[in-house]
């Protein structure tokens, strides 16, 4: 009696895949390596981007920052003298390839080695929307609880690297960071997993090395 029916003019996800492929071609044509960063609110996405920008000084980096309505994250990045393009999704809870397609028109890709895209803080909706990045990272904080990965299997199956952040607080929250590693690997055996603390610096070097190597390999 009260079923809700939606009819779509065409397949949104299929169209998204087509545009993501176009985006990837644009990036490849310009020799730009692109990493999308996913994760919940407060997991540490923006702090990770700040850390990458501060440490990979010889890498010419630009950032696309997705947020619902505000520009707080964009402003944080801009403080590092890194060009940051903000996308406000309004009430939408994820970026899509179409939004990135337009953002790419605003970026001068000629002098970029690494493009970072920070998605909206959400572990559900962004999963299905390939943006055209070469790698997808997901940041998950030990403060999000022991079940967080098993509760959101879909998105963890669609990433290339899982970054377990705030491991310095694992003891306080009674969380075993290694069991979070196992949770990711049980869903996605090929996923690289990094245990880090962006606050104390623990484990960060290994992650930065991975990113630097990926950029180098892609530039051959």
**Interface residues with a second copy (CB under 8 A)?**
2, 4-10, 12, 15, 19, 40-42, 67-70, 72-73, 91-93, 98, 101, 120-125, 127-128, 141, 143-145, 147-148, 150-154, 166, 169, 172
**Closest separation in Å from C-beta 219 to a second copy:** 29
**Closest separation in Å from C-beta 135 to a second copy:** 23
**Closest separation in Å from C-beta 118 to a second copy:** 12
CB closer to a second copy, 56 vs 169: 169
CB closer to a second copy, 63 vs 215: 63
Q: What is the chain's length?
A: 220
- Kindly list the strands in the beta sheet with 84-88, ordered across the sheet, starting from the edge strand earlier in the chain: 84-88, 61-67, 114-118, 33-39, 135-141, 161-165, 192-195
Q: 190 CB contacts (<8 Å, ≥6 apart)?
A: 160
Q: For residues 93 and 52, what is the distance between their CA atoms, to the nearest angstrom? A: 25
- Read off the tokens for 104: 């790419």
Looking at residue 89, what DSSP letter applies?
Answer: -
- Read off the tokens for 44: 């540490």
CB closer to a second copy, 124 vs 219: 124
**Closest separation in Å from C-beta 205 to a second copy:** 23
CB closer to a second copy, 42 vs 56: 42
């Amino acid at each position: 009696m009260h079923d809700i029916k939606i009819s779509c003019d065409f397949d949104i996800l299929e169209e998204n895949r087509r545009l993501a492929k176009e985006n990837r071609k644009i990036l490849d044509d310009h020799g730009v390596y692109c990493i999308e960063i996913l994760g919940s609110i407060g997991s540490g996405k923006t702090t990770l981007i700040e850390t990458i920008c501060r440490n990979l000084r010889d890498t010419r980096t630009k950032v696309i920052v997705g947020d619902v309505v505000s520009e707080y994250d964009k402003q944080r990045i801009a403080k590092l003298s890194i060009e940051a393009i903000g996308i406000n999704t309004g009430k939408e809870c994820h970026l899509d390839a179409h939004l990135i397609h337009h953002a790419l028109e605003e970026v001068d890709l000629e002098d970029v080695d690494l493009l970072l895209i920070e998605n909206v803080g959400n572990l559900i909706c962004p999963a299905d929307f390939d943006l055209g990045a070469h790698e997808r990272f997901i940041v998950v904080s030990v403060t999000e609880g022991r079940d967080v990965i098993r509760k959101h299997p879909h998105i963890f199956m669609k990433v290339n690297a899982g970054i377990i952040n705030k491991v310095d607080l694992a003891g306080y929250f009674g969380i075993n960071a290694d069991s979070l590693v196992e949770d990711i690997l049980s869903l996605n055996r090929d996923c690289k997993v990094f245990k880090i603390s962006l606050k104390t610096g623990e484990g960060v070097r290994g992650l930065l090395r991975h990113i630097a190597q990926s950029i180098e390999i892609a530039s051959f």
